[in-house]
Amino acid sequence: MKNMKKTLCILCLTLLASLAVFLVACDEPKSPPAEQPSGEQSETPDGEQSETPDGEQSETPDGEQPGTPEDELQQFTGITFTDKTVTYDGTEHTITVTGTLPDGAQVAYTNNAGTNAGTYDATATLTADNYEALTLRAVLTVQKATFTGITFENDTVIFNDKVHSLAVQGELPQGTAVRYENNGKTAAGEYTVKAILENPNYETLTLTATLYIRSLPDAKAIVDKLLTRPDAWSFMPEVFAPANMAHTALPQTDFASDFVGVQTIGKKAIGKQMNVVYDILNKTQSVLSKADIVFAAGETIAAAYQTFINDNPDDYTEFSGSVTIAGIPFSVKIALQDDASVLLLGNETVSVELRADSEQNINIGRIGAAGAALKYQATDASLKLALDIEISDAKVAQSLEFVREEDAVAGYVYEYYGVGDAAVKTTALISSNDTYTVITGNKRETDDLLIEAYEEVYSSATGAMIGAEVTETVKKVDFDTLWFPLADVQGFTNVKVLDETNGLNADTVYVNNAAVPFESKTIGEPGLDMLSRRYDIEMKEVWYIVRQTDGEEVTYTKEKALIPMLFVQNKSLEDFADDVTEKNDSVTNAALPDTAPVTGPFTAMQDSYLALKELVTYDEIKDFIGEEDAFFQTAQA
């Protein structure tokens, strides 16, 4: 009976256990872990804990609670948050994330907007369902701007015992503070004033200007500017000034008495084309010298005008009166016209009209004296002057213009002897640099020559003539001829010239102590010039500057002379050495100097000369000089 009860109890327990297993299997679709002894835990493959049949829990692989793959959080991708730099402009600037955000994503910014100059450390936090939150960082930089449209100008005021100041002009950005240094002055003087502009959003700007407080206009400064007289020689190389070209005595001019060494022939000789330039400059100096008494009296003129200013502090822009210079009375008028000033001064013998324009930096002068009138117009880099004068009952009109560009000078000469269309005209073109000075003109040797262009080349360092080239027509035959000083031609040591014609040459020439005359060679080839000479030595007309001293007074005169020079036709240059030695036993090793300095610039100079020689007429020279101011007629009356 006891055994039967025991068997029944075991059967009941077995049924209950089976029922429990059945219920658990219904709640958990997954297969349960292998049964362990009651209350014990088993390790998963990663060593984590799993739930036991007694209801205790086990850990999943990452320490998370057991769940499906759909429950894992995703990462944001393709989203950037980049630094940004801008310049202050008074508006707000921001930086934001870029890229495609998932649906429903939110972005929270901090410190990502700025208006004023500075740096802003910004963050952007991204959140979304099923996404892990992401925080990005970037820097927004607002740079300082630069002040624009602000000026600080110089100013000149008259002393009036009040405070004078300078002030910046222009629209100042909001928040700008201006601080001045050395401003607000009363006493007469010249002050350098600083204006310092400061603004948190702008780079600090410092401007400088000059405040000039003067008690009254400085008459001497005005008059000195008016009396600034141009120096035409300054546009030519210094060596060509008469004092530098001068000889203490006239060089060798007698070539008939005996043989003369070619090295003794004066090399500082002026040819016909250069002589045109010297002639105009000398005549100009002569007329200007008649006004020397006025140009030397600046202090006297200024003193008279300063007295007028002091007596008329509120109205001194025009002054008329008289001054006495070296015992000679002159009528005078000074007028101030904006940036220009005018001085008129004269008497019965001379009239001087001067104008100075400080804005254009130009001085204009007109001088009339003893039947001559001269006008100049000068700047630092240019000079134009014209002269109308009567010489030996002949009217002469001359014009000379210089233009300087860096180290080179171009010059233009126009000269008329006579009146209007009946005048004989001479024109010259000047080109000068540190190496060579070239004069191209049409000053003729004789009246029966038709010259297209006559070029003379000089050394800008020594003043010596290097050579010449001329294109001319003689009896319908065209020639292109080069000329050289004998001292520069190899093979010639001395020369003697007799005033005896020999059929081809107006003179008979001997060289190198030879007893027989120097012989030329004709072209010989068929043509109109077949009988013309390939080369020869002829007497050439030149001028020398001679220094004359009388006590302490030094003057310079221009003396004409004839000197022997060698000419060669251009087309015979290559045959020159053979031709000379073939015809003259006394000449050996004949050779020309370097011809490039002469032939090199010739074509360009000739073309420019021919294009320019008709540009200025006699009437245009007269019109440029104009008539003297009516003030002189009134003053003399």
The reported pLDDT for the residue numbered 608 is 92
Residue 606 has pLDDT above 60, yes or no: yes
Q: What is the mean pLDDT of residues 238-246?
A: 95
Task: Give the angle 396-397-402 at the CA atoms, nearest 5°.
Answer: 135
Checking phi first, is residue 512 left (phi over 0); if not, alpha (psi -120 to 50) or beta?
A: left
Q: Which of the residue ranges 196-205, 470-479, 493-502, 572-581 would you say has the lowest mean pLDDT? A: 470-479
Cβ-based neighbours of 244, under 8 Å, separated by 6 or more: 238, 463
pLDDT > 90: percent of the chain: 67
Residue 526 has pLDDT above 90, yes or no: no
DSSP 444: -
The reported pLDDT for the residue numbered 417 is 86
Closest CA to 532 of 605, 479, 492: 479
At CB < 8 A and 24+ separation, what contacts does 396-401 make?
A: 396/283, 397/423, 397/618, 397/621, 397/622, 398/279, 398/280, 398/283, 398/621, 399/616, 399/620, 399/621, 399/624, 400/232, 400/277, 400/280, 400/281, 400/284
Cβ-based neighbours of 582, under 8 Å, separated by 6 or more: 521
Residue 568 has pLDDT above 70, yes or no: yes
How many other C-beta atoms are found inside a 10 Å radius of the C-beta of residue 37?
Answer: 7
CA 177 to chain centre: 38
Residue 508 has pLDDT above 90, yes or no: yes
Residue 48 has pLDDT above 70, yes or no: no
Question: Hey, what are 5's tokens?
Answer: 């009860």
The reported pLDDT for the residue numbered 40 is 40
User: For the segment 259-310, what is each residue's pLDDT rounded down to a tens digit?
Assistant: 999 999 999 999 999 999 999 998 888 888 888 888 889 999 999 999 999 8
The reported pLDDT for the residue numbered 393 is 77
CA distance 156 to 358: 15
Q: What is the mean pLDDT of residues 46-59?
A: 42
User: For the segment 136-171, what is each residue's pLDDT rounded down to a tens digit?
Assistant: 999 999 999 999 999 999 998 878 789 999 999 999
Q: What is the mean pLDDT of residues 300-321?
A: 91
pTM of the model: 0.66
The reported pLDDT for the residue numbered 394 is 82
Q: What is the mean pLDDT of residues 460-488?
A: 93
**Which residue is it, tokens 């008059």?**
223
Strand intervals (E) in 215-269: 260-261
The reported pLDDT for the residue numbered 502 is 82
Closest CA to 195 of 215, 216, 214, 169: 169
The reported pLDDT for the residue numbered 504 is 81
CA distance 522 to 449: 20
The reported pLDDT for the residue numbered 224 is 92
The reported pLDDT for the residue numbered 462 is 96
For 155-214, give the CATH class: mainly beta
What average pLDDT does the structure give for the chain?
Answer: 86
The reported pLDDT for the residue numbered 636 is 63
Q: What are residue 540's DSSP bridge partners?
A: 563
- What phi, psi does 533 have (nearest 5°)? -80, 140
Q: Report yes or no: 472 and 449 within 8 Å, Cβ to Cβ.
A: yes
The reported pLDDT for the residue numbered 321 is 92
The reported pLDDT for the residue numbered 446 is 56
User: For the segment 405-428, what is each residue's pLDDT rounded down to a tens digit?
Assistant: 988 999 999 988 887 766 778 899
311: three-class secondary structure by DSSP: helix
Residue 59 has pLDDT above 60, yes or no: no
User: For the segment 483-505, what is each residue's pLDDT rounded down to a tens digit?
Assistant: 999 999 999 999 999 999 887 88
Strand intervals (E) in 7-154: 84-87, 93-94, 106-110, 113-114, 118-127, 134-143
Closest CA to 606 of 453, 419, 449: 453
CA distance 215 to 225: 20
How many other C-beta atoms are found inside a 10 Å radius of the C-beta of residue 34?
Answer: 6
Q: How many CA atoms lie within 13 A of 513 on its CB side?
A: 1
Binning pLDDT at 50, 70 and 90, where does residue 53 land?
Answer: very low
The reported pLDDT for the residue numbered 445 is 58
- Give the amino acid at 203: E
The reported pLDDT for the residue numbered 370 is 80
Binning pLDDT at 50, 70 and 90, where does residue 473 land?
Answer: confident
> What order of strands is seen across the sheet that includes strand 134-143?
84-87, 134-143, 118-127, 106-110
pLDDT > 70: percent of the chain: 87
Task: Give the angle 328-329-330 at the CA atoms, nearest 5°.
Answer: 120
How many other C-beta atoms are found inside a 10 Å radius of the C-beta of residue 363?
Answer: 20
Q: Report yes or no: 456 and 438 within 8 Å, Cβ to Cβ.
A: yes
User: For the segment 21-44, what is each residue's pLDDT rounded down to a tens digit?
Assistant: 333 343 444 444 444 333 343 333
The reported pLDDT for the residue numbered 436 is 97
- Give the amino acid at 472: E
How many other C-beta atoms are found inside a 10 Å radius of the C-beta of residue 574?
Answer: 9
The reported pLDDT for the residue numbered 33 is 41
CA distance 18 to 579: 147
